[in-house]
Amino acid sequence: MSTVRRTPAGATRTCPHCRAVILQSTSVCPSCRKHLRFAAAGGDAAVPTFSPLRVEGSIRHPNNGEAWEYAVTVTITNERGVELTRQIVGVGAIKPSELRNFLVAVEVFGPPEAAEQEHRGETATTEPARSGAIRR
């Protein structure tokens, strides 16, 4: 009989270091990367199972003109297109001849059994985006 308490999937809490909203099951904050607690052997700490989405891109301001302002927005919708959350994760300005690199990644966390399935090649499939195009 295990005395380890499992948290409900998707339960959240606030990181005591950076105040970001994070999964309750994680032992390291994905935002500030500080340790929150030690995961017991066989405990309930979530492990990254796979990363179905990773997009990298750059914006370079030409050498002329005025500075550009930008806002990085992340929107999550469900299978019916209903918006679940919309967050601005960063804002800033790019002066002439400056460069900004952006990386967006989605990591899926699952119990240790899911990591074993991933290792055996039994991963979930990902669907391509329904709309939108990458603009450069």
* pLDDT at position 107: 85
15: its two tokens? 């990181």
Give the integer Cα–Cα distance in Å for 55 and 104.
5
* pLDDT at position 133: 40
67: its two tokens? 């500075």
Contacts of residue 97, defined as CB under 8 A and 6 or more positions apart, other chains included, come to 60, 61, 62, 63
Are residues 131 and 71 in contact, defined by beta-carbon separation less than 8 angstroms? no
Best CA proximity match to 119, nearest among 55, 54, 48, 25: 48
* pLDDT at position 95: 94
pLDDT digits (tens, 9 = 90+) for 78-134: 999 999 999 888 899 999 999 999 999 998 877 666 555 555 555 555 555 444 444
pLDDT confidence band for 136 (50 / 70 / 90): very low
Q: Count each helix (H run) and each strand (E run) in the chain, helices first.
A: 1, 6
pLDDT digits (tens, 9 = 90+) for 36-72: 865 544 445 556 788 899 999 999 999 999 999 999 9
Boundaries of every domain in the chain: 8-45, 46-123
pLDDT digits (tens, 9 = 90+) for 4-45: 556 777 788 888 988 888 888 788 888 888 888 655 444 455
* pLDDT at position 12: 86
First CA to last CA across the chain, in angstroms? Answer: 56
